[in-house]
Amino acid sequence: MSIVARRSDPMLAWGDYLRTLDWTEGDTKHAQAYRAFIRAGMLGVDPAAAMREVETTIRGSGGKIVPRDLERQLQRAYAFAKREVTEGIAPVATAVTRSYYSAADLVTRADKAREFSWVDLARRSPVDPAGVTSSEYLDAVFRPGECVVVAERQDDPGRVYVAGSGATWVNGMRSDNGILYLSNPTNGQRIQNADGKLSLRSETNLTCFRHLVLESDRTIPILWVRAMVQIALPVVAIYTSGGKSVHFLIRVDAADKVEYLAAVDRLRPGLVRLGADAVSMSGVRLTRLPGAMRGERHQKLLYLDPTGTPEPIVEKPELRKTEMGQPI
């Protein structure tokens, strides 16, 4: 089930998107052209029309056209868009271009799954979330040998957990601020970031852009979940913050930052409309570690699917019987 589009003409929606991009010279110009072509491919814009519009936009901003390079960007972008349509999270692609929250849209969508409960969510989880430790969770979500930064607060430099190691130091962690992990794997080394400081968890440390974090602090948790489970998202995990929100870990599998940003650009408007926090969609987002404690509150794992199958959770079969209570 896709997020309802507010426009019927893909060229109009794409034109709105083009105007949000910074068409400066140098690397930025090429990156924006690639992002623009990805969005065009997702919206079904004719490639020739997309090429003409991007060429006009670049020239209008004072840039120079290198036809061979631009053609390469278009082919690569449309191939990526086609792959997303057939295998990825394209059902969320929409002509909605304005990122603003609509409580009415959230309630309307959630009402379509009004009977869906926390128990229903746990029963549809490919991996039984009950009793999964923090190390087991990280081993399931990340690939063996990947480095995951775990921190006790937002300004904590962090400590490296090696996926697949089953190291027990990460289990049973507790802090007043909760226990966090970086949503994407890193090189595990302290290197200089853009601010000139040594860091384990800056963008420079990332080895790939695999995951996107979706969270919402403005909605009623069960309404947020009922709305989200109707969307064909490749959900890897769902867990509580140990507070009043629920986090979704989504598989994006972008080849690089440019593809990641293009995917986020495509998803943001429709998801923000349902209450998603746009700020949380960074590739270096710290999110809550399931199995840990935030003071006396449990950061509880609600759903786990390491494969991130892109289909609505509400349409998945029940795999087990469970009587999980209210998680928040």
Residue 214 has pLDDT above 90, yes or no: yes
Are the C-beta atoms of residues 139 and 289 closer than 8 Å to each other? Answer: no
For the chain, report the end-to-end CA distance as a whole number of angstroms. Answer: 27
Please tell me whether residues 233 and 118 are part of one structural domain: yes
Please tell me whether residues 109 and 54 are part of one structural domain: no
Please tell me whether residues 231 and 88 are part of one structural domain: no
The pLDDT of residue 90: 43
The pLDDT of residue 73: 82
Are the C-beta atoms of residues 238 and 247 closer than 8 Å to each other? Answer: yes
Please tell me whether residues 55 and 128 are part of one structural domain: no
Please tell me whether residues 88 and 112 are part of one structural domain: no
Contacts of residue 86, defined as CB under 8 A and 6 or more positions apart, other chains included, come to none
Return d(Cα 321, Cα 129) in angstroms, integer: 12
Q: What is the mean pLDDT of residues 9-27?
A: 72
Q: Please give the tally of structural domains in the chain.
A: 2
pLDDT band at 298; cut points 50, 70, 90:
very high
Q: Does 21 or 151 have the greater pLDDT score? A: 151
pLDDT band at 325; cut points 50, 70, 90:
low
- Whether 168 is covered by a domain: the verdict is no
- Whether 302 is covered by a domain: the verdict is yes
Q: Does 191 or 239 have the greater pLDDT score? A: 239
In whole numbers, what is the pLDDT of the chain averaged over residues?
85
Q: What is the mean pLDDT of residues 5-12?
A: 58
- pLDDT tens readout for residues 226-285: 999 999 899 999 999 998 899 999 999 988 888 898 888 888 888 999 999 988 899 999
Residue 149 has pLDDT above 60, yes or no: yes
Please tell me whether residues 63 and 119 are part of one structural domain: no
Strand order of the β-sheet with 174-175 is 174-175, 293-294, 297-298
Domain with 268 in it: 103-142+208-315
The pLDDT of residue 136: 97
Nearest-10 Cα torsion for 78, 279, 109, 317: 70
